């Protein structure tokens, strides 16, 4: 099933859901006005269904929008990472399963304005939504684990070279918090960087403050991140920060054999304790 065939089936499902009053809103994608990109769409009537699109530009993470509509019956057009993110939010009791209809889309990967597949998509192993109400597309084989190009480059570095690379990225940060706003896991009513009693980090772009912010945010996502890459894609300074998310996710996989967002009845790795868990982090 190609992109256009998936798009038509998705529209048919969305039309049926709205026409029969099964949902109040469809959260999906529509054509944006720049660079051929797609943008989030919020459809509330069957007449708007034809504006919904599905193609390799539907990169936005839609799961976070579900948090804005608590209490409403909504349907979300969800590629695998979106579906995993929705599962993660349900596991964290942000909304009940019955509130959301998941239109699960098989996704081979998203591309940028030059047609290059995003780095996060290059190493994605989960192309099929793990939880769904409607499945759209031909199921793909799950991929094997592999390092992203950035991680492979960093792995080949010496410790001093890694530190130099890391700090060179941190120096570029202007603390606009676009990465936080794009991340479906950053749903706290008040972020730790915005608190002043106690003040965890100063609101400057000094290297130490930037490092504290980025490492603090990434560690908050450990064992919860689905590696969608949204944080890096929205950065206006082109910071390479997604590899940090991949690293903590890889560690959770290695230590606890856990991938985020695959099962509704499994707690995040760092919210669960089992006697057989690895103690590597404490004894090495």
Give backbone dihedrals phi and psi of 241, rounded to 5 degrees, phi first: -120, -15
Q: What are the E-state strand segments in the chain?
A: 25-31, 38-43, 74-78, 100-105, 134-136
Residues 259 and 170 reside in one and the same domain: yes
Question: In the listed set 110, 136, 162, which residue is the last one of a domain according to the structure?
Answer: 136
Residues 159 and 63 reside in one and the same domain: no
Question: What crossing angle do the helices spanning 207-220 and 159-170 adopt, rounded to 10°?
Answer: 100
Tell me the residue range of the domain where 189 lies.
Answer: 149-271
Which of the two residues, 268 and 28, has the higher pLDDT score? 28
Q: Give 190-222 pLDDT, tens digit per residue.
A: 898 888 888 888 888 999 999 999 999 999 998
Secondary structure (3-state) at 265: coil
Q: Is the pLDDT of residue 228 over 90?
A: yes
How much is the mean pLDDT over the chain? 91
Residues 169 and 266 reside in one and the same domain: yes
| Cα–Cα distance, 165 to 152 (Å, whole number) | 13
Q: Is the pLDDT of residue 283 over 60?
A: no
User: Is residue 198 situated within a structural domain?
Assistant: yes
**What pLDDT is stored for residue 177 in this prediction?**
95
Query: Are the C-beta atoms of 75 and 96 separated by less than 8 Å?
Result: no
User: Is residue 175 situated within a structural domain?
Assistant: yes
Query: Are the C-beta atoms of 54 and 29 separated by less than 8 Å?
Result: yes
**pLDDT class of 269 with cuts at 50, 70, 90:** confident
Residue in the structure block whose two tokens are 């089936």 = 9
* Count: domains in the chain: 2
Q: Is the pLDDT of residue 254 over 60?
A: yes
Q: Give 146-170 pLDDT, tens digit per residue.
A: 888 999 999 999 999 999 999 999 9
User: Is residue 276 situated within a structural domain?
Assistant: no
Residues 44-56 have a mean pLDDT of 95
Residues 239 and 187 reside in one and the same domain: yes
| Cα–Cα distance, 271 to 92 (Å, whole number) | 10
User: Is residue 142 situated within a structural domain?
Assistant: no
Sheet with 74-78, edge to edge strand ranges = 38-43, 25-31, 74-78, 100-105, 134-136
Residues 120 and 154 reside in one and the same domain: no
User: Is residue 47 situated within a structural domain?
Assistant: yes
Question: In the listed set 136, 157, 190, which residue is the last one of a domain according to the structure?
Answer: 136
**What pLDDT is stored for residue 281 in this prediction?**
60
Query: Are the C-beta atoms of 117 and 111 separated by less than 8 Å?
Result: yes
Global pTM value: 0.91
Residues 196 and 247 reside in one and the same domain: yes
User: Is residue 278 situated within a structural domain?
Assistant: no
Which of the two residues, 42 and 273, has the higher pLDDT score? 42
**What pLDDT is stored for residue 79 in this prediction?**
96
Residues 153 and 263 reside in one and the same domain: yes
**What pLDDT is stored for residue 59 in this prediction?**
94
User: Is residue 73 situated within a structural domain?
Assistant: yes
Residues 168 and 252 reside in one and the same domain: yes
Residues 130 and 60 reside in one and the same domain: yes
Per-residue H/E/C for 178-213: HHHHHCCCCCCCCCHHHCCCCCCCCCCCCHHHHHHH
Please return the burial class of 32, using the count of CB atoms within 10 Å of its CB with bins 0-12, 13-18 and 19+: middle
Secondary structure (3-state) at 123: coil
Residues 245-253 have a mean pLDDT of 87
Angle at 23 between CA 20 and CA 29, to 5 degrees: 110
Give backbone dihedrals phi and psi of 4, rounded to 5 degrees, phi first: -65, -40
| Cα–Cα distance, 125 to 109 (Å, whole number) | 10
Residues 132 and 10 reside in one and the same domain: yes
User: Is residue 283 situated within a structural domain?
Assistant: no
Q: Give 95-144 pLDDT, tens digit per residue.
A: 999 999 999 999 999 999 899 999 999 999 999 999 999 999 999 998 88
Question: In the listed set 86, 107, 136, which residue is the last one of a domain according to the structure?
Answer: 136
**What pLDDT is stored for residue 166 in this prediction?**
95
Secondary structure (3-state) at 58: coil
Q: Is the pLDDT of residue 44 over 70?
A: yes
Residues 94 and 187 reside in one and the same domain: no
Q: Is the pLDDT of residue 284 over 70?
A: no
Query: Are the C-beta atoms of 95 and 271 separated by less than 8 Å?
Result: no
Percent of the chain whose pLDDT exceeds 90: 72
- Upper half-sphere CA count for residue 111 (Cβ side, 13 Å): 11
Residues 17 and 130 reside in one and the same domain: yes
**What pLDDT is stored for residue 10 in this prediction?**
98
Secondary structure (3-state) at 28: strand
């Amino acid at each position: 099933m190609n992109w256009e065939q998936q798009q038509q089936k998705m529209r048919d499902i969305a039309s049926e859901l709205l026409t029969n009053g099964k949902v109040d809103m469809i959260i999906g994608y529509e054509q944006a006005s720049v660079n051929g990109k797609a943008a989030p769409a919020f459809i509330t009537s069957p007449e708007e269904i034809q504006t919904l699109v599905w193609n390799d530009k539907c990169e936005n993470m839609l799961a976070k929008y579900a948090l804005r509509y608590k209490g409403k019956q909504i349907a979300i057009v969800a590629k695998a990472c979106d579906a995993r993110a929705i599962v993660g939010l349900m596991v964290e009791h942000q909304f009940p399963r019955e509130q959301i209809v998941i239109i699960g889309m098989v996704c081979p990967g998203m591309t940028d304005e030059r047609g290059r597949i995003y780095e996060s998509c290059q190493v994605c192993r989960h192309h099929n939504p793990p939880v769904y109400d409607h499945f759209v597309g031909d199921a793909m084989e799950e991929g094997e684990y592999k390092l992203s190009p950035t991680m492979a480059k960093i792995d080949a570095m010496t410790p001093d070279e890694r530190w130099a690379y890391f700090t060179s990225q941190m120096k570029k940060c202007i603390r606009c918090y676009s990465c936080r706003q794009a991340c479906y896991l950053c749903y706290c009513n008040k972020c730790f960087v915005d608190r002043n009693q106690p003040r965890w980090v100063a609101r400057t772009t000094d290297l130490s403050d930037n490092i504290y912010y980025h490492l603090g945010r990434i560690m908050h996502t450990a064992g919860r991140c689905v590696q969608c890459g949204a944080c890096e894609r929205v950065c206006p300074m082109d910071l390479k920060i997604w590899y940090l998310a991949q690293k903590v996710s890889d560690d959770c996989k290695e230590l606890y054999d856990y991938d985020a967002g695959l099962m509704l009845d499994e707690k995040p790795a760092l919210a669960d304790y089992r006697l057989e868990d690895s103690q590597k982090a404490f004894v090495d």
